[in-house]
Amino acid sequence: MECIGGFKVEDILRPIYQERASQENTLGVLIIEKREKSIPFTDTFDAILLIVVEDAEQPVFIKHYSYQNKKAAMHIVTQAQLNEWLQIGSNRKIVEWIYSGKVLYDRNEFLHNLRIELNEFPFNGRKLKMGLEFAKLIRRYMDGKSFFKNNQYLDAYNHIVHSLHHLGRLALIENGFHPEITVWKQVKQIEPEIFQLYNELVTSDEELGKRLELLFLASDFLIHSRTEMGISHLIEILKTKEDWSINEIALHPELKLYSVDIEVLFEYLVEKHFIEVVTVETKGQGIFHRNYRVAEKLLTKK
């Protein structure tokens, strides 16, 4: 903990968080200080105060402060918002803040128990995160392939870099790790094969088109080998009904988390025979509704 003029940062910022800590609505208070300058751990601020509350009018409330030529940010977030971030992985810094922050206040061991839960990362909690990551992976991969076929190599490169990032994150989650900001440092240790693909793409002296061609071939295998694991959450839900319309899928409380990636994901899974198309008659002659169901090969699999 950094000292400024003999005072710890938490002492300087105490008047800001102390009032919040005394309120019954507050579950926990953490302080996170800036570490390595090269890593955007605290969004360029010298300190972050993370305050978790049971409920509030705004799910996120932020204030910025200056002190002794430094700057701090206070983030007040509701428990529901925090859970959403942790569930769908839309705020990657939050996991590191919870892990590495210093606890200043902890009502009924809320933060302590949260850290235990994050460390254990139960498989059921992982399945949804893997599904969301796999959907993002497929979206980027399919778009990249499309650009590649049209000889738009720079756009293809951009998408394939992102798809490898999602593949790396997926592999980490599958192995029981929360992807951190420095995700490639983790991937290099845990999934060196994926790291090698990424490294070859960005550092090779090969002509870009050739690099991409080889990468798509290697990626096809790696993605295919992870498909069943990546879609296990999706398939579990789809098995609860014989077939689904795309609107029913979009409105499902968990499936709607897949957002704009769901349609591309379904087309990929139809192409790879994990999902089948069911045609349902409409009033228009020769026009059919296109519904979806789990493929027979997955229904009969133990």
The domain containing residue 176 runs over which residues? Answer: 121-230
Look up the CATH number of the domain holding residue 170. Answer: 1.20.120.330
Q: Are 292 and 277 in contact (CB under 8 A)?
A: yes
Of the residues 230, 253, 284, the one at which a domain ends: 230
pLDDT at 31: 93
Of the residues 119, 143, 162, the one at which a domain ends: 119
Same-domain check for residues 7 and 96: yes
pLDDT at 37: 60
Same-domain check for residues 217 and 302: no
Query: How many residues in total does the chain contain?
Result: 302
**pLDDT surpassing 80 at residue 146:** yes
Terminal alpha carbon distance of the chain? 53
Same-domain check for residues 115 and 125: no
Same-domain check for residues 101 and 182: no
Same-domain check for residues 126 and 30: no
**pLDDT surpassing 70 at residue 54:** yes
Same-domain check for residues 30 and 94: yes
84's tokens = 């959403």
Count of domains in the chain? 3
Look up the CATH number of the domain holding residue 254. Answer: 1.10.10.10
The burial of 57, by beta-carbon neighbours within 10 Å (0-12 exposed, 13-18 middle, 19 or more buried), is given as: exposed
Which phi and psi (to 5°) does residue 55 adopt? -155, 165
Same-domain check for residues 195 and 241: no
Beta strand segments in 101-149, E: 102-106
Tens-digit pLDDT profile for residues 24-37: 999 999 999 887 66
Same-domain check for residues 7 and 107: yes
Give the separation between CA 66 and CA 29, rounded to whole angstroms: 19
Q: Any bridge partners for residue 102, and if so which? A: 31
Tens-digit pLDDT profile for residues 172-229: 999 988 887 778 999 999 999 999 999 999 998 999 999 999 999 999 999 999 999 9
**pLDDT surpassing 60 at residue 302:** no
Same-domain check for residues 248 and 259: yes
User: Quick one: CA dihedral 186, 164, 127, 181, positive or negative?
Assistant: positive
Look up the CATH number of the domain holding residue 44. Answer: 3.30.460.10
Helix (H) or strand (E) holding 111: helix 110-120
Give the separation between CA 298 and CA 275, rounded to whole angstroms: 9
Of the residues 210, 230, 250, the one at which a domain ends: 230
Nearest to 178 by CA among 94, 242, 79: 94
